[in-house]
Structure 1
Amino acid sequence: MRITVPTALTLMRIVLIPVLVVVFYLPYKWTSFAAAAVFAFASVTDWLDGWIARRYNQYSAFGAFLDPVADKLMVAVALLLIVQVHPTKWMALWAAVIIGREIAVSALREWMAALGERARVKVASIGKFKTIVQMVALTCLLYQEPLLGLPVFAIGEWLLAVAALLTLWSGWAYLRAAWPVLGRDERTGVN
């Protein structure tokens, strides 16, 4: 198997997960900046690997499998770190919504692929917008400190709430797209 540049970027994102955890727990003043920087860098590589794959036609089956796994792992770990340090009911709720939706949509995609209906649940533009909001929110929450007089953490909290709502909306869009298949009678194949 040949490792393409996009796949190498995705593998690097997975390697950055334990780096994020270690940096997050270091006992120095600069760790919140460093954790936010690691997460932001990983987020940029997520965009970059897709851009390179499309621009230079560097697709691979392994990369197509690994990219969403890397994204979900990075987001889930960041959410767990944030909720552990800021264990509020709202933070826990938003994290549960985001992680729960990712598990449900992954299972839905896998099931639809097994039925030969994977094209019905392809990534929609709302999902891409949700990802951008979510990545900015998590970067702000990892950074935690005010910046230039801006309450970065509070901005992150609000953006995470928006991301969770967009998560529900995009999850509903996936479910609605799959519904004709989900509603079929397995014995007759009729809705």
Structure 2
Amino acid sequence: MNRSAKIFNLPNLITGSRFLLSGCLMLLLLREQTTINALLAWLVFTIAAGSDWIDGYFARKYKAVTVLGKLMDPLADKVLVTTAMIMLIPTGKLPAWVALIILCREIVVTGLRGVASSSGIVVAASNLGKWKSIIQYIALGTLIFPLGVLPIPFLHQIGLAILYVALVLTVWSGIDYFYKLRRVFLEDPN
């Protein structure tokens, strides 16, 4: 298999679509949040979030893991979550301080992983980090979903409560990453 065929494999194309879907999500959340627009935004978000699992499944099943995929996959996840959170702030569905803490953690962990990688240490996503992502996706999907479609009172308050759980897992997993990578920062370079 030639080099370009390896780069443009199915898992990488699915991951790449998550970037495009994030742009679509932004455009849908910019529009007036009628029931139809909110449902479309929720559908796009759900497909994009689901693609996070699907690309990994195909990469493992077909042994199609690439360096590009290892880089793009977590970035695509962060772009999707960042898009949803930032676009939900003006609607009043998400407090800016929650988004700030979550986004700062993502930047710090990405930096930590980058420094570790430059030292030859590969840090795979932890189970705690995977749970954090799942809970974030559920919370954001719940906050995007339009009110009045389902007979669930306080739907957005439920979504916000789930997001607070995600916030705790986000901080906890960030501390966990720092602890696991402490040897990179505590080593004497001499």
TM-score by length of 1: 0.90
Alignment size in residue pairs = 183
CA distance in 1, matches of 2:59, 2:153: 36
- Rounded to whole Å, the distance in 2 between the matches of 1:150 and 1:51 is 35
Q: What amino acid sits opposite 1:180 in the alignment?
A: R
* Other structure's SS at 1:140 match: helix
User: Displacement of 1:41 after TM fit?
Assistant: 0.7
Which string of whole-angstrom CA distances, capped at 9 and with x for unpartnered residues, describes residues 95-125 of structure 1? 111111110000000001111122xx32110
User: For residue 4 of structure 1, what is the amino acid of its counterpart?
Assistant: N
**Kindly tell me: are residues 144 and 94 of structure 1, through their superposed partners in 2, closer, same or farther at Cα, counting changes over 3 Å?**
farther
Q: 1:25·1:31 contact (CA, 8 Å) conserved in 2?
A: no
* Cα displacement string for residues 14-72 of structure 1 (whole angstroms, at most 9, x for unaligned residues): 11112111112233331111111110110001110001111111112211111111110
Match for residue 15 of structure 1 among 1, 5, 20: 20
Match of 1:157 among 155, 160, 171: 160
- Decide whether the 8 Å contact of 2:35 with 2:146 is kept in 1: no
State the alpha-carbon separation in 2 of the partners of residues 176 and 53 from structure 1: 29
Matched, 1:177 2:180: yes
Read off the aligned partner of 2:136 and give its amino acid letter: Q
Q: Of 102, 107, 110, which residue of structure 2 is paired with 1:106?
A: 110
Where structure 2 has 5 or more consecutive residues not aligned to the other structure, the ranges are none
Among candidates 91, 98, 103, match of residue 94 of structure 1:
98
Residue aligning to 2:129 = 127
User: Structure 1: how far apart are the matches of 2:35 and 2:179?
Assistant: 47
Aligned: 1:66 with 2:69: no
CA distance in 2, matches of 1:38, 1:169: 29
Q: Distance in 1 between matches of 2:107 and 2:136?
A: 16
Q: What are the superposed Cα offsets for residues 108-157 of structure 1, whole Å, 9 maximum, x if unpaired?
A: 00001111122xx3211011111110000000111141422242211110
Gapped regions of structure 1 (runs ≥ 5): none
